[in-house]
A and B are shown apart, each in its own frame.
Chain A
Amino acid sequence: MSRVPLRRTRFGVATVMFAAGGMLLVPIVRAQPSSAQKTPGDQAEQLLQDARSAGADTDFTGVVQVEWVDATGHHREQVAARNVGGVLELQDHRDVYGRNDERLVQNDGVYMSMGNSHAGAGLPSPTPKWDLRITGSHRVAGRDTSVIEARDPETGTARERMYVDEATHLLLRREQLDSHGHVQRAIGFVRVNQAKYLGSDKPVLPRSQQNLQPERLRDLPNGYLAPRRVGDRYELLGQYRRPDGTVQLFYSDGIFGLSMFEQRGELDWEALPPGAKVRRIGGHEARQYATPGGEVLVWTAAGTIFTAVSDAPNDEVEAWVRNFLPKEHSSAADSIAKFVLGPFGWE
């Protein structure tokens, strides 16, 4: 595979002019007092922001490998990816398209329109919670990258590692790590090239046939929980109602995203997909799934079915979902649990 420089489409000229201006300003900047210099955390955060926008703005074609682990083993899948003219196309088992705020996901031949704009909400800064720093460089898919780590400031353990292309700022790989620093999920290019060099055309966005786009909500219906901040510095960025009535709350801590889905009704445990791990969370029975995109937890309390979906590590998710557990519950089953386990202090 030959290494070909990637092309930034929208900001190419602006970048050159900015760079030229920047060269003129170098002596001035250097003359500033040291307090004006960016901290390592600021530099890492800036690079992360650049990487996030480069993912939408950079033309490329390549192959992305997705790896995850569950109780049945280590899984590895590859996805053909290209982004040309602002349209992103991902193809493997299910085709996925993205353009601006549009997201189309194919299921059994039907394209579903999903997602909704966060209406100007930006991600919160990760630095109040995470020790963000550029830790070195590494080669990914034959390209030089800068490595950003988000570390737990108390333990010093890296929980997310991101590899950013030094030339284009495209995020070439990200790894999620458990509390011991072991990689549990990884998504990264194994091959990436300039779209123009390979003569790749702009993908054609399929026409949406089923609209699952959620409606943005200013206020939630009575009885739904929507804390403004949950877990360890996860902030509420948007609340939505899906076409089936399910309410979605979207949170982020600047590195990881979390969605809480709430729907009224009695949970039919038998109708849940197989392959779950049975868990107990705060005294409630739950089902947990490990997917390539993250963890999923399903449980029910007080007539509401909760489904938490997150790309955050397990321990972060568990701390977060406790904000949605009722403090009091008094079913007959709970009475049994209290009577039996109370003397032993198990609950």
Chain B
Amino acid sequence: MSDAPLINEDLLSAFIDGELDAETHAAVEARLVESPEWRAVLADVAAARAAVRALPTREPPPRFIEDLIATVAADATGTTGARRDKQRVPRRRGPMRWAAAGAAAAAVAAGIAVFAVPGPSRTAPQVPTLTDSHAAQASQLDDPVSQLAPVSAFRGFRR
């Protein structure tokens, strides 16, 4: 148990990026000065970030974007694998072509229906209320003071 400020890897990451306010930056710096263990963690965080940034950028192979779009389109219409198959299976003609056209028309109609009919309402959980609810439940089986004090201390989620 000590009075030293608490720090974690997220905070060190923000420290490296220069995202902390002056007071917090100074506090983290002071902690690093006194703690070789946290200096080692800082070195690990910095090394991991440097390694990611050092990865080479690569140009996509020819037709990569076109193939990607074709694959996704095929996946969306439920014909996964069609792109690969078309290279070795002869193209079907005759009645099948009309069937395919009919299926495409049906897909377009279905798409229009999906967009015309209102989908499920968009919503977001009431995060502050849910955290309170968890603390209330936990405090009935565990120590009530240590479970409920954070609820009182927290200024809440600012919007």
Asked if B131 is at the interface of the complex by the 8 Å CB criterion, the answer is yes
Across the interface, which residues of B come within 8 angstroms of A71, CB to CB? 10-11, 13-14, 19
Is the Cβ of B134 less than 8 Å from the Cβ of A340? no
B34 to chain A, nearest CB (A): 14
Is the Cβ of A293 less than 8 Å from the Cβ of B11? no
Q: Which residue of A lies closest to B69 (CB)?
A: A336
Partner of A88, one of B126, B148, B154, B159: B148
> What does the 1/0 interface line of A325-342 toward B look like (CB < 8 Å)?
000001010011001100
A7 to chain B, nearest CB (A): 16
> What does the 1/0 interface line of B54-76 toward A look like (CB < 8 Å)?
00000000000000100110011
Interface size of A as a range: 35 or more
Across the interface, which residues of A come within 8 angstroms of B8, CB to CB? 69-70, 178, 182, 184
Contacts between the two chains (Cβ within 8 Å), count: 269
For the complex, what is the distance from the CA of A118 to the CA of B149, rounded to whole Å? 21
Q: Known interface pairs A237-B141, A298-B125. Does A93 touch B152 (Cβ–Cβ under 8 Å)?
A: yes
Asked if A261 is at the interface of the complex by the 8 Å CB criterion, the answer is yes
Is the Cβ of B144 less than 8 Å from the Cβ of A115? no
Across the interface, which residues of A come within 8 angstroms of B138, CB to CB? 250, 252, 257, 259, 311
Is the Cβ of B137 less than 8 Å from the Cβ of A116? yes
Across the interface, which residues of A come within 8 angstroms of B1, CB to CB? 138, 140, 163, 173, 175
Is the Cβ of B131 less than 8 Å from the Cβ of A291? yes
A219 to chain B, nearest CB (A): 19
Q: Known interface pairs A79-B153, A265-B120, A293-B151. Does A51 touch B133 (Cβ–Cβ under 8 Å)?
A: no
Q: Which residue of B lies closest to A104 (CB)?
A: B136
B152 to chain A, nearest CB (A): 4
Q: Is the interface of B mostly helix, strand, loop or mixed?
A: helix
Cβ < 8 Å to B, chain A residues 304-322: 305, 307, 309-311
Is the Cβ of B145 less than 8 Å from the Cβ of A83? yes
Q: Known interface pairs A292-B150, A293-B150, A332-B75. Does A118 touch B127 (Cβ–Cβ under 8 Å)?
A: no
For the complex, what is the distance from the CA of A293 to the CA of B132, rounded to whole Å? 9
Is the Cβ of B127 less than 8 Å from the Cβ of A55? no
A223 to chain B, nearest CB (A): 13
Asked if A21 is at the interface of the complex by the 8 Å CB criterion, the answer is no
A9 to chain B, nearest CB (A): 15
Across the interface, which residues of B come within 8 angstroms of A305, CB to CB? 123-125
For the complex, what is the distance from the CA of A79 to the CA of B155, rounded to whole Å? 12
For the complex, what is the distance from the CA of A261 to the CA of B38, rounded to whole Å? 35
Asked if B142 is at the interface of the complex by the 8 Å CB criterion, the answer is yes
Is the Cβ of A214 less than 8 Å from the Cβ of B127? no
Is the Cβ of B125 less than 8 Å from the Cβ of A184? no
For the complex, what is the distance from the CA of A311 to the CA of B126, rounded to whole Å? 18
Across the interface, which residues of B come within 8 angstroms of A174, CB to CB? 143, 146
Across the interface, which residues of B come within 8 angstroms of A285, CB to CB? none
Cβ < 8 Å to B, chain A residues 55-89: 55-56, 64, 66-74, 77-79, 81, 83, 88
Asked if B79 is at the interface of the complex by the 8 Å CB criterion, the answer is no
Is the Cβ of B127 less than 8 Å from the Cβ of A259? no
Asked if A284 is at the interface of the complex by the 8 Å CB criterion, the answer is no
Asked if B111 is at the interface of the complex by the 8 Å CB criterion, the answer is no
For the complex, what is the distance from the CA of A174 to the CA of B143, rounded to whole Å? 10
Asked if A10 is at the interface of the complex by the 8 Å CB criterion, the answer is no
Cβ < 8 Å to B, chain A residues 175-206: 175, 178, 180, 182-188
Interface centre among B20, B119, B125, B138 (most CB of A within 10 A): B125
Across the interface, which residues of A come within 8 angstroms of B120, CB to CB? 264-266, 303
Q: List 25 A-B contacts (CB under 8 A).
A: A52-B141, A66-B149, A70-B10, A71-B10, A72-B14, A72-B21, A74-B11, A78-B153, A88-B148, A115-B137, A122-B141, A123-B141, A182-B6, A186-B6, A212-B129, A240-B137, A244-B126, A248-B134, A250-B138, A259-B137, A264-B120, A266-B120, A267-B124, A309-B131, A335-B71
Binding site for B on A (CB under 8 A): 51-52, 55-56, 64, 66-74, 77-79, 81, 83, 88, 90-96, 98, 101, 103, 105, 107, 112, 114-118, 121-123, 138, 140, 163, 171, 173-175, 178, 180, 182-188, 212, 214, 237-238, 240, 242, 244, 246, 248, 250, 252, 257, 259, 261, 263-269, 271-275, 277, 289-294, 296, 298, 303, 305, 307, 309-311, 330, 332, 335-336, 339-340
Binding site for A on B (CB under 8 A): 1, 5-8, 10-11, 13-14, 19-21, 23-24, 27-28, 37-38, 41, 68, 71-72, 75-76, 119-159
- Give 9 closest A-B pairs by Cβ, nearest first: A115-B136, A273-B157, A293-B150, A271-B124, A73-B24, A292-B150, A77-B153, A103-B136, A257-B138
